[in-house]
C-alpha cells in the first residue's frame, strides 16, 4: 500500500510541475488581443504622415519630389502638410570672387547649386536651407555646407511657397572637395530616417 502511494505521488508531483511550467510559459509569451477597431500598423504609419525614409538622390538635370510638414505642439507628432518638386538645374564649382563671398571656403571648395523648387501640394510649404545643407563623400563624414552667402540672383529659395508657386535660384555651399553628395535635411519630423533630397555633385 505504501509503495503504491509513493508511486502515485511521483506522477502527481510531475504533473503539477508540468502544469505550472505550462502556465508560466503561457504567461510570459501571452500577448494582449489586438483592438479590432484600431487600424493596421501600415495604415497608422500612412495616416500619421511620418517621413519614414530618405528622399530622392538626384543628379544635374533630374527632378524629384519630397514632402513637407510641421511638428505638433507636443513636439513629437509630425504631420505631412504639402509636397514639393525639386529640379537640379546645375552644379558649378566657383571661386570666392565669382560668387562675391569675400573669403575662401572653410571646408575646401565652393559649389553653386542651382535648383528649381515648386509647391505641388495643396497647402503652403516652407523651405529653409540655411544650416541644414550637408555634404559628405566616401572619405568624409557628413558636415554642414551652408554659407552666409546663401542664395543669389534675387530669387531666394528659402521661402514659404503657396500651392503652385515656384522659384529658381542657387545656393552657395562650402564642401570638402569636388564630388560627393549634398543633402537637404530640413524635415521637422523627429523620426525622419534620411534627408528630404540629396544631390550627387559632379567630379569636376
Q: Is the dihedral of CA 95, 96, 100, 105 positive or negative?
A: positive
Residue carrying the nine cell digits 500500500: 1
pLDDT for 179: 97
Instruction: Tell me: do 62 and 158 sit in the same domain.
Output: yes
Instruction: Tell me: do 2 and 64 sit in the same domain.
Output: no
Q: How far apart are CA 22 and CA 184, in angstroms?
A: 54
pLDDT for 176: 96
Instruction: Tell me: do 170 and 81 sit in the same domain.
Output: yes
Q: How far apart are CA 92 and CA 134, in angstroms?
A: 17
Domain hosting residue 21, numbered range: 1-28
Instruction: Tell me: do 148 and 65 sit in the same domain.
Output: yes
pLDDT for 1: 47
Q: What is the Cα Rg of the chain in Å?
A: 29
Q: Is residue 151 part of a domain?
A: yes
Instruction: Tell me: do 64 and 153 sit in the same domain.
Output: yes
Q: How far apart are CA 134 and CA 113, in angstroms?
A: 13
Q: Is residue 159 part of a domain?
A: yes
Residues of the chain scoring pLDDT < 70 = 1-53, 102, 149-155
145: left (phi over 0), alpha (psi -120 to 50) or beta: alpha
Q: pLDDT tens digits for 10-24?
A: 444 443 444 444 444
Instruction: Tell me: do 108 and 161 sit in the same domain.
Output: yes
- What distances in angstroms separate CA 98 from CA 57, 89, 92, one per listed residue? 27, 18, 11
Instruction: Tell me: do 24 and 80 sit in the same domain.
Output: no
CA 97-101-106 angle, 5° bins: 105
| CATH (domain of 133) | 2.60.40.1240
Q: How far apart are CA 189 and CA 138, in angstroms?
A: 27
Which cell numbers in the block locate residue 196?
528630404
Q: Is residue 77 part of a domain?
A: yes
Q: Where would I find the H helices in 30-150?
A: 41-48, 96-99
Q: How many domains does the chain have?
A: 2
Q: Is residue 35 part of a domain?
A: no
Q: Is residue 42 part of a domain?
A: no
Instruction: Tell me: do 86 and 117 sit in the same domain.
Output: yes
Q: Is the dihedral of CA 141, 195, 64, 167 positive or negative?
A: negative
Instruction: Tell me: do 104 and 8 sit in the same domain.
Output: no
Instruction: Tell me: do 5 and 80 sit in the same domain.
Output: no
Q: Determine contact, residues 165/118, Cβ cutoff 8 Å.
A: yes
Instruction: Tell me: do 56 and 24 sit in the same domain.
Output: no
Which cell numbers in the block locate residue 81?
502638410
Q: Determine contact, residues 96/72, Cβ cutoff 8 Å.
A: no
pLDDT for 29: 42
Averaged pLDDT score across all residues of the chain: 79
Q: How far apart are CA 1 and CA 8, in angstroms?
A: 11
Q: Is residue 39 part of a domain?
A: no
Q: Is residue 90 part of a domain?
A: yes
Q: pLDDT tens digits for 67-98?
A: 999 888 888 889 999 999 999 999 999 998 88
Instruction: Tell me: do 56 and 23 sit in the same domain.
Output: no
Q: Determine contact, residues 65/87, Cβ cutoff 8 Å.
A: no
Q: Is residue 33 part of a domain?
A: no
Q: How far apart are CA 72 and CA 77, in angstroms?
A: 5
Amino acid at each position: 500500500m505504501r509503495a503504491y502511494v509513493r508511486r502515485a505521488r511521483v506522477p502527481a508531483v510531475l504533473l503539477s510541475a508540468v502544469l505550472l511550467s505550462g502556465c508560466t510559459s503561457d504567461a510570459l509569451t501571452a500577448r494582449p488581443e489586438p483592438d479590432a477597431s484600431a487600424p493596421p500598423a501600415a495604415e497608422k504609419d500612412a495616416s500619421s504622415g511620418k517621413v519614414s525614409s530618405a528622399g530622392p538622390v538626384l543628379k544635374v538635370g533630374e527632378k524629384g519630389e519630397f514632402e513637407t510638414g510641421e511638428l505638433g505642439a507636443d513636439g513629437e507628432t509630425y504631420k505631412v502638410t504639402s509636397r514639393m518638386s525639386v529640379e537640379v538645374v546645375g552644379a558649378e564649382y566657383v571661386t570666392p570672387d565669382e560668387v562675391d563671398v569675400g573669403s575662401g571656403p572653410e571646408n575646401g571648395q565652393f559649389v553653386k547649386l542651382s535648383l528649381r523648387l515648386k509647391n505641388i501640394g495643396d497647402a503652403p510649404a516652407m523651405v529653409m536651407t540655411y544650416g541644414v545643407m550637408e555634404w559628405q563623400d566616401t572619405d568624409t563624414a557628413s558636415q554642414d555646407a551652408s554659407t552666409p552667402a546663401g542664395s543669389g540672383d534675387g530669387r531666394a529659395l528659402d521661402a514659404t511657397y503657396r500651392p503652385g508657386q515656384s522659384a529658381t535660384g542657387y545656393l552657395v555651399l562650402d564642401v570638402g572637395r569636388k564630388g560627393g553628395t549634398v543633402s537637404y535635411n530640413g524635415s521637422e519630423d523627429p523620426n525622419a530616417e534620411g534627408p528630404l533630397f540629396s544631390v550627387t555633385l559632379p567630379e569636376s
